[in-house]
Amino acid sequence: MGIDSYFYIDDSLLQAENFDLAVQNTEKVKTFIESVGFDINIEKSVFIPTNRIIFLGYIIDSVLFKVFLPEEKVRKIIELSNKMLKAHKVSIRSLAQLTGLYSSAHYAVQYAHLFHRYLDLDKTQALHGSVFLPQNTTEYHRTPQNTTEH
């Protein structure tokens, strides 16, 4: 078709040199997608060309040539960060959730990977702790035999 497009599972982005071409391309892609049997979620779709759109969870601004985090994600990062700052002890799951949010922000936030470096190290260190396994579990006793027998 010769259309600049980006597809990822259930998200897509089209781009064009001008508004009219964008409208034409959108209609062509919409028609094609429906012709091969896919359903388009009309409520979640944007058919009118825009300079600012959410794609893969980020706000893409084609005028400023920048990527932003949606307000909801920013709020979630701030809330979880403040909760962690007030806590004396946090679960590894909470720490992993926060480092995951920071990690996913790296496309939109310059140096985001530096914000969670030490938190990630703490998480990794905590995951290296010992776990006590019950001695009477038959799966553990069978495993050495199963790995050596062919």
84/119 Cα distance (integer angstroms):
11
- Cα separation, 115 vs 40, whole angstroms: 38
- Global pTM reads 0.70
Of residues 147 and 98, more confidence is placed in: 98
| All residues at 6 or more sequence positions from 19 whose CB lies less than 8 Å from its CB, including other chains | 49
Segment 2-14, tens digit of pLDDT:
898 999 888 999 9
Average pLDDT over residues 39-44: 92
Q: Which of 4-8, 75-79, 89-93 is least confident?
A: 89-93
Show the tokens assigned to 97. 């959730």
Amino acid identity, position 14: L
pLDDT higher at 125 or 42: 42
